[in-house]
Amino acid sequence: MCSDDIVISARGLGKRYEIYDSPRDRLKQFLRPVLGRRLGGRHDYFREFWALRDLDFEVRRGETLGIIGRNGSGKSTLLQLICATLTPTLGEVRTQGRIAALLELGSGFNPEFTGRENVFLNASLLGLDQASIAARLDDILAFADIGDFIDQPVKTYSSGMYVRLAFAVIAHVDADILIIDEALAVGDAIFTQRCMRFIRAFQQRGTLLFVSHDMGSVQNLCQSALWLDGGRLVRLGPSEAVARAYQRYSLQQIYGDEVELAEVERASAAAESATEALPEDEDALAPEALSCLHYGAEARASVNLERASGWDTGAVEIVDVDLSKLDCADHSPLFEGWDWVRLRIRARVHRALERPILGFLLRDRLGQDLLGENTLAFTELQPLAARAGQTIEAQFVFRLPMLPNGQYAILASVADGDLYNHVQHHWMHDLCILTVSSSRVRWGLVGVPFKHVSLSLCDD
C-alpha cells in the first residue's frame, strides 16, 4: 500500500485454472514429473484458462466501486481474490480492514446447521468472537426477520431467507469493506428497502464494492465503475461514463456485423428545433392520438403497518395509512397509472404538539425518492395544535404516477415545528407497499401521459 487512503490495491493480478478433459489427464499431469524424467518431454495434459489477467486498480477509503461485465467475465473471481478465498496465480491484491462479503447464495453457511448456529459460524468467519456475536444476535435476528425459522436447518430455507440471514450478518460485523454480488435481486420489497437504507448509511463511513448487471443501480450507487471482459480490465472510471460505454458494447454484441455503433461526442448539445403548436383542448386531438400511448401500469397497495420499522420519541404514533381511488364507490384495490388517488395518514397524539406536520415519500427499490409531500404549507397558513389523546389525519390527493413493473414503498412521518426548526417524532419506513404489474413504462423512473405523438417527413 502506497497510502493509508487506499484500502484495496491490485497489481498484475491474474488467476489461471487448469482445464482437464478427463480424470485420466489429471492423473497424468500429477505424474508428469516422474513420467517426464523416464519418457522425456514436458507435455502438459491440461488447457489453460485465465479467469483474470494483468489487472491493476486501486480503491480508496469511502469509495463505492461498481464492477460490471458479462457472465464469465471474471467478476466473481476478482471478488474471491479480494476476499482471499482464492489465491492469485500471478500478481497480488492487498486490502486494509475487515471485509464482509455476500458473494453467492449460501456461502459461509452449513446447510445442516440451524439459522442461529449459522449466524455464529458466519460471523466467526468474518472476525467476531463469540461474545461479540451474542451481543449483536438480537439485532441480527430482527434485521433478518425470518421468525421461528431461525431455529430450523438452513437447508429448508428459501433463497430469499438465505439472503435475509446472510445480509443481516454482514450488516452487523462492523466491516470496513462491504462486497455485494447481485444478492439484492432475491429479497422482497420490504427487505430490499431495509438493505438499501443500510447500504446508504454504510457509504458514509465505509468502502463498498457492488456487482450488478443493472446499469441504473451502478450509476445510482457508485462513484466509479470497473468493467471486465474476458478476465481483462476494459475500462475504469466514473460510473456514468463506464456504464454508457458498456451499454453500447453490449448492444454491439447483440447486433453483430449488421450494425456498427460509432461513439458520438459533441462539443455542444445546443440544437435548434421547430415545434408545431399543439391544441390546448384534449378534445381537439384526433382519438387515435389520445389512445396511442397507453402504459397500463396497474398497481395494488398493501398496508404493512405491522411490519413497518423506524423510530419515534413517544410523542405521537402513526396508527393507520390508507391509499384509495378518489371518489371510488367500490373501494377497488386495483389502481392504474394517472388515477386520482387519496392517501390518508392518521396519527395518535400522546404529548401535545404545537404545529404537527405529516408527510410521506414514495420510494423505488433502490431507495430513491420518486415523490412526496407534507402538510407544512397548510400549517404555515393555519397552525393546528393537537392535545394528548387526539388523533390527527392528513390527506393527500394526487395522480398516481405511471410506474415501471416492480415494488415501491411508502414511508410516512410526523414532525412538530416549522420548516427551519422541527423535531421528527415518528418516522416509519415501508408503511404501504405498492406492487406494479402489466406496465409498459420502459424508460425512466416514472411515465407520464403524452398528449400528442406524431411522425412526419419534412422537406429540407
Per-residue pLDDT reduced to its tens digit, 203-250: 999 999 999 888 888 888 899 999 999 999 999 999 988 988 898 888
Sign of CA dihedral 405, 411, 412, 417: negative
Mean pLDDT score, 86-103? 91
pLDDT band at residue 137 using 50, 70 and 90 as cut-offs: very high
Closest CA to 81 of 231, 235, 223: 231
Instruction: Tell me the β-bridge partners of 11.
Output: 92
- Residue reference for cell 516422474: 34
Distances (CA, A) of 322 to 336, 343, 401, 439: 16, 6, 17, 23
β-pairing, 224-229 vs 64-68, is parallel
Residue given cell 417527413 in the structure block? 457
Rounded to 5°, the CA angle 361-366-367 comes to 25
3-state SS, 332-390, equals CCEEECCCEEEEEEEEEECCCECCEEEEEEEECCCCCEEEEEECHHHHHHCCCCECCCC
Residue 292 Ramachandran class (φ > 0 left, ψ -120 to 50 alpha, else beta)? alpha
Q: Cα separations (Å) of 362 from 244, 276, 432?
A: 28, 35, 9
Query: Do residues 366 and 404 make contact, with C-beta atoms less than 8 angstroms apart?
Result: no
- CA dist 392 and 304 (Å) reads 20
Residue 149 in this model has a pLDDT that exceeds 80: yes
Residues 16/21/26/27 CA torsion (nearest 10 deg): -170
Contact 318, 346 (CB under 8 A): yes
Q: What pLDDT does residue 14 have?
A: 94
C-alpha distances in angstroms, 436 versus 71, 159, 412, 420?
29, 23, 20, 36
Query: Could you tell me the domains of the chain?
Result: 6-97+176-253 (3.40.50.300), 296-439 (2.70.50.60)
Work out the mean pLDDT of the chain and round it to a whole number: 84
| 404-414 pLDDT, tens digit each | 998 999 999 99
pTM: 0.74
Q: How far is CA 287 from the centre of its chain?
A: 41
Which three cell numbers mark 13? 493480478
Cell numbers at 228, concatenated: 471486465
pLDDT computed for residue 285 by the predictor: 43
Using CA atoms, how far apart are residues 245 and 241, in angstroms rounded to an integer?
6
pLDDT given for residue 338 in this prediction = 86
Residues 6+ apart with CB under 8 A from 126: 98, 99, 100, 169, 170, 173, 175
Of 284 and 54, the one with more pLDDT? 54
CB 83 within 8 A of CB 258: no
